[in-house]
Structure 1
Amino acid sequence: MNNKQCRKLKRKDLKIKNLVQFSLTILILGLIIYLSSVLYFRIDLTSEKRYTLTNATRNILRNLEQELFIQVYLEGEMPIGFKNMRRATKELLDEFRIYSGKKVIYEFINPAESHDQKVRNEVFRELDSKGLKATNALFSDKEGGRSQKIIFPGAIVNYNGMEMAVNLLKNNPLLNHSQNLHNSIEGLEYEFIHVIKNISSDTIYKVAFIEGHGELDEYQVGDITMELARFYHVDRGIIGGKPGILDDYAAVIVAKPREAFSEADKFVIDQYIMNGGGVLWLIDAVRVDWDSLEQTGVTVGLIEQINLDDQLFKYGVRINPKLIQDINCAIIPINIAFVGQQPKYVPAPWLYFPLLFPLENHPVTKNLNLIRSEFVNVIDTVGVEGRIKKKILLRSSKDTRVVSVPVFIRLEDIKDPPAEREFNKPFQSAAVLLEGEFESVFKNRMISQYIKNQDVDFRDHSIPNRMIIVADGDVIRNEVSVRADRIIPLTLGQDRYTQQTYGNKEFILNAVHYLAEETSLVEIRSRTLTLRLLDKTKIINEKFKWQLINTVLPVLILVLFGLVNRYFRKRKFA
């Protein structure tokens, strides 16, 4: 065989080899593409695992039996912050779609798409009636001017003929725009999955307001009742000393009782707690007659006797008959007109209405606005060290004063407030979460008179459980409006004089969620994403340096690469 034939064979072998390599490459790429369409995985390298769904979320999505449709109203021209929220929402819903087996279907809709103002207004009214909250946003338009636009940062979830609204924007006036948007993006998974869980679940938890002890009526808690009804079956009723009457409820609410509890009713609540029932206590230890104060300008704060002190003490708290005064407080209208003249009202700070601070490191209070309170008391944790875990949820500011009762309360005190140096009792606790195994207040007591049915078992210790105690019954109370013989509940937490909406509704809702539901969703709400904002001072000081690095350095690298490449090519082929 001559050299020419050898070269032909080598060339043929090389072609075959190249063809085989090319075929293998195509085959491997095709296999990768196929597997990527069937299998799904991603590696989350962030320290807080911000792109990883929790196990609770995955389980809820996998258990969807039908298709779930989500309409997100974040489309069209909007500020960059809302565009970031849109991107984060899309990424989250893509994850939902994968883990649900493509049962989650979503679309983004621009509610302001129509050029007809009447049509847009009709769409806005419809979204508002469904529970979505609008916000006004300012942003730069294409011509460089400033534009204002109504945005509905929310979604409507549809499943099996039912629909629920999801509001995505957390608008805390204490925080700046960037922090509010960050907190909103941080809470996307919780907001969506909580609604998905409720709308797709066959089980509807029941919640009850206790009656029979002068508690707030259905109108005074009407707003929070309507909000709770989105997630729970809500009842109201009298205990009547009947053991087991509360057993079907995931949580019960005791909202500002004004009359003493009988021992029989206390026994029913105690055994409900021992068997794992959650209780939200909203208790006043001091009685203040606001109507008398409005009409006469003076009233007396006295101890409220409702016969719960021993029970709450046994569980781990004491509500002291002391009133908190706080420089950080709400305002009330005061008539400054002289007698006989037309009333003239001006807003004035009222020290007895503190604006309570929620602690940020707990799911119940995370990302909440201030909580508006009225004649709030001081709450202490007591005893049961180690067995009961105690967590302060709400507290006053550093400029706090504590007033013991009995005390005369006068509207005239607004004109002559205490000296600032007297506000020297900072950070008074106003709400506490207790978790653990509680001991029955009826342990080692005669209980035969409370048990009519011999089949009822008495427990002297609870299973692991939780309860929340708030030292102000007005935290859950909404104002009412009377129109044409109709009583209309107003928005809980809204100040009628400043139109500021405080975090009362979200606080109560979170508290009930925490007490009534399994802990899986708590894991989601507890997640924290690090807000990595740019250092504006450093940007200004080092602007030129980074401009050089980003523009000149890449060019220099390319030139250097070209020179090195040319040098080695010359050496190789010289």
Structure 2
Amino acid sequence: MKNTILRLILLIAVLAGINWLASVLFFRWDLTEDKRYSISDATKQLLNDLDQDITVNVYLQGDFPAGFERLESATRETLDEFKTYANGHLTVNYSDPTQAVNEEQRQKQFLNLVDRGLTPTNVFANEDGKRTEKIIFPGVIVQADTLAVPVQLLKGNRASSPEEQLNQSYEGVEFEIASAIRLLANRERKKVGLVVSHTKVPPVRLSDLIATIQQNYDVFLDMNNPESYDGLDALLVLKPDSAFSEDEKFKLDQYVVGGGRAIFFVDGSRVDSVSLDGNYAQPIDLNLSDLFFRWGARVNTNLVKDLNCAEILLNVGNMGDQPEIKPLPWRFFPVLNNFGQHPISRNINAVYTRFLSSIDTVGGAAEIVKTPLLMTSPYTQLVNSPALIGYNEARKEPVAADYRGGVKIAGVLLEGSFSSLFKNRILPDDPRAVKFKESGNTGKVIICSDGDIVVNDYDYKRNTPLPLGYDRVSKQTFGNKDFVMHALDYMTDANGLISARTKQVSIRALDKIQIQEKRKFWQTVNLIIPLAFIGVFGGLHYYLRRRKYA
């Protein structure tokens, strides 16, 4: 009796100790191989630092095919993890917009979500031989007080299979929602400068990019030609078509040497329309070649033709007395769907380009790390400018043997400690010598060899700009905007929230033929075997106890 009481007291003491430790020590253990239930340290820090209430309204609810169920589960699991670290400042609401008392009410709910920035998706599924269709909203709206940010969860590369795109969306849930929370909670907005004084592109053709950047950053234009770019968190040079002076190049040099972050969207060749039959391409001198070379890159004065390309509308003849307009592949408009292993370009949709040039990486400084971000397909051909580009080429069937140029780099990230191009060139009596830096802190530079990556199209009938990356021929929106915004995020985010984009979740696909042919068998196995194990274990346990105490 005495031993029993002691054991009871000891058990109570152990349980009380474990309970006390659980109240003061917090840990979560993710046993999955790909750490699918873990979130990045940057996201944890963001949530720990919240000092205002955030509400996340989730509209991905209901009965879906398996791929969307995984996305729904990922959203729920991620937000549960978010709530763990948000110290009570995060509230999550779930609702199914398809649930309504009547069709009129349902349509009102749909229109309300569209007006708030969410895009619906039609889901088709085969269930027991029946084809079903359903409209869903794979997104959330993150809200703080009166401000709200829509978040589209269905992303990824559209060139991938539906299963792969859904898996890419699954991997991106943490980053997409955390980015919206950061936008609402960010008290100190970063400063981004846009160099537009060297471009003839009308402001309306850059409007979508500028409006998108302004949602997250304070934007400064360089129309007044500042003395330096010091104080900016990032600098974007947008499609220049006139040469930079030596003084302007000096300011770019010193900004990067001082640890600045700069992104260049430049052309290697200028392409001008000469007639309805074609264009004329000629080298363009921006007076930046020696600066790029110093950093370890060279933008070539050529044009890349790629078999993986966009289409243009072309008059192929007459149908009666009317011209016949057809979309034809235009190999001078490469579609970039080959990306480097980096969070900036991971899982984004293909990038649309026009008259792309190639980039070579050169020696440069040994401490500069070069990471290709955007690349062409292997089926390329180079055209050196000057050259006449006739539209008649689009009518010709390409000869595969002519497109063996291999993969060409179209965007490269340069990171490290940069040394100045003007080293040993600034004399002591030069006024610039006072603040001149030969080398400095770690900087970052991205060079993209097509200025049109950041230029949006324009709808002249409706007198409104089209979204950046939208192709009016294929009616699809490419990943240009995502690429630019992820690049900016990587450049300016000191806490590294973009590291959440490195999450990888493997697809463990089931054999669809086996599922279809042996559906009942596997359902029976999954139902009976667990119950059989429980029965065997229970019977064995009962037998041993009876044998011991009988």
- 1:350-499 matches, cutoff 5 A: 350-359=330-339, 361-384=341-364, 386-446=366-426, 451=431, 457-483=435-461, 486=463, 488-499=464-475
- The answer for the alignment partner of 1:266 in structure 2 is 249
Distance 1:369 1:540 in 2: 32
Q: CA RMSD in A?
A: 3.2
Distance 1:236 1:504 in 2: 21
- 2:197 partner amino acid: G
Per the TM alignment, residue 257 of structure 1 is displaced from its structure 2 partner at its CA by: 0.8
Q: Deviations over 1:15-68 (max 9, x none)?
A: x87677667767766776676577643211123322222221111111111221
2:132 pairs with 1:154: no
Distance 1:159 1:372 in 2: 35
- The answer for the alignment partner of 2:45 in structure 1 is 59
- 2:220 partner amino acid: D
- The answer for the alignment partner of 2:55 in structure 1 is 69
Answer yes or no: is the 8 Å Cα contact 1:358–1:369 preserved in 2.
no
Q: 1:497 to 1:115 in 2, by over 3 A?
A: farther
Answer yes or no: is the 8 Å Cα contact 1:134–1:150 preserved in 2.
yes
- 2:99 partner amino acid: E
- The answer for the alignment partner of 1:201 in structure 2 is 186
- The answer for the alignment partner of 2:197 in structure 1 is 212
- 2:85 partner amino acid: Y
Answer yes or no: is the 8 Å Cα contact 2:338–2:377 preserved in 1.
no
Answer yes or no: is the 8 Å Cα contact 1:48–1:528 preserved in 2.
yes
Per the TM alignment, residue 564 of structure 1 is displaced from its structure 2 partner at its CA by: 6.4
- The answer for the alignment partner of 1:189 in structure 2 is 174
Distance 2:535 2:502 in 1: 51
Distance 1:549 1:110 in 2: 33
- The answer for the alignment partner of 2:71 in structure 1 is 85
2:324 pairs with 1:324: no
Per the TM alignment, residue 365 of structure 1 is displaced from its structure 2 partner at its CA by: 0.7
Secondary structure in 2 matching 1:59: helix
Per the TM alignment, residue 522 of structure 1 is displaced from its structure 2 partner at its CA by: 3.2
Distance 1:73 1:567 in 2: 52
Answer yes or no: is the 8 Å Cα contact 1:378–1:428 preserved in 2.
yes
- 2:479 partner amino acid: G
Deviates more, 1:78-87 or 1:34-43: 34-43
2:510 pairs with 1:534: yes
Q: 1:156 to 1:332 in 2, by over 3 A?
A: same
Secondary structure in 2 matching 1:61: helix
Deviates more, 1:32-41 or 1:129-138: 32-41
Answer yes or no: is the 8 Å Cα contact 2:267–2:449 preserved in 1.
yes
Answer yes or no: is the 8 Å Cα contact 1:279–1:467 preserved in 2.
yes
Distance 1:163 1:543 in 2: 45
Per the TM alignment, residue 223 of structure 1 is displaced from its structure 2 partner at its CA by: 1.5
Answer yes or no: is the 8 Å Cα contact 1:440–1:462 preserved in 2.
no
Deviates more, 1:313-322 or 1:90-99: 90-99
- 1:243 partner amino acid: E
Per the TM alignment, residue 494 of structure 1 is displaced from its structure 2 partner at its CA by: 1.5
- The answer for the alignment partner of 1:135 in structure 2 is 121
Distance 2:397 2:537 in 1: 76
Per the TM alignment, residue 79 of structure 1 is displaced from its structure 2 partner at its CA by: 2.8
- 1:426 partner amino acid: G
2:223 pairs with 1:243: no
Deviates more, 1:438-447 or 1:60-69: 438-447
Per the TM alignment, residue 208 of structure 1 is displaced from its structure 2 partner at its CA by: 2.1
Deviates more, 1:177-186 or 1:529-538: 529-538
Distance 2:531 2:355 in 1: 68
Deviates more, 1:528-537 or 1:304-313: 528-537
Distance 1:199 1:307 in 2: 41
Identity score, percent: 34
Answer yes or no: is the 8 Å Cα contact 2:235–2:261 preserved in 1.
yes
Distance 2:29 2:424 in 1: 57
2:179 pairs with 1:180: no
Secondary structure in 2 matching 1:376: coil
Answer yes or no: is the 8 Å Cα contact 1:215–1:255 preserved in 2.
no
- The answer for the alignment partner of 1:4 in structure 2 is none
Per the TM alignment, residue 138 of structure 1 is displaced from its structure 2 partner at its CA by: 2.0
Answer yes or no: is the 8 Å Cα contact 2:304–2:355 preserved in 1.
yes
2:259 pairs with 1:281: no
Task: Give the TM-score, by structure 2 length.
Answer: 0.90
Deviates more, 1:330-339 or 1:259-268: 330-339
Q: 1:425 to 1:563 in 2, by over 3 A?
A: same
- The answer for the alignment partner of 1:9 in structure 2 is none
Per the TM alignment, residue 197 of structure 1 is displaced from its structure 2 partner at its CA by: 1.7
Distance 2:531 2:104 in 1: 55
- The answer for the alignment partner of 2:213 in structure 1 is 228
Distance 1:83 1:42 in 2: 24
Per the TM alignment, residue 195 of structure 1 is displaced from its structure 2 partner at its CA by: 1.8
Q: 1:206 to 1:424 in 2, by over 3 A?
A: same
Distance 1:349 1:285 in 2: 22
Per the TM alignment, residue 341 of structure 1 is displaced from its structure 2 partner at its CA by: 4.0
From 87, 94, 105, the counterpart of 1:101: 87
Q: 1:447 to 1:147 in 2, by over 3 A?
A: farther
Distance 2:167 2:509 in 1: 10
- The answer for the alignment partner of 1:119 in structure 2 is 105
Per the TM alignment, residue 133 of structure 1 is displaced from its structure 2 partner at its CA by: 2.1
Deviates more, 1:350-359 or 1:467-476: 350-359
Gap runs ≥5 in structure 1: 1-13
Secondary structure in 2 matching 1:238: coil
Secondary structure in 2 matching 1:346: strand
Per the TM alignment, residue 392 of structure 1 is displaced from its structure 2 partner at its CA by: 1.0
- 1:280 partner amino acid: I
Secondary structure in 1 matching 2:418: coil
- 2:372 partner amino acid: I
- 1:466 partner amino acid: K
Q: 1:553 to 1:467 in 2, by over 3 A?
A: same
Deviates more, 1:122-131 or 1:259-268: 122-131
Answer yes or no: is the 8 Å Cα contact 1:324–1:402 preserved in 2.
yes
- The answer for the alignment partner of 2:150 in structure 1 is 165
Secondary structure in 1 matching 2:317: coil
Deviates more, 1:93-102 or 1:24-33: 24-33
Q: 1:307 to 1:558 in 2, by over 3 A?
A: closer
Gap runs ≥5 in structure 2: none
From 490, 505, 509, the counterpart of 1:514: 490
Q: 1:28 to 1:353 in 2, by over 3 A?
A: same
Q: 1:457 to 1:22 in 2, by over 3 A?
A: same
Q: 1:357 to 1:239 in 2, by over 3 A?
A: farther
- 2:148 partner amino acid: E
Distance 1:426 1:521 in 2: 34
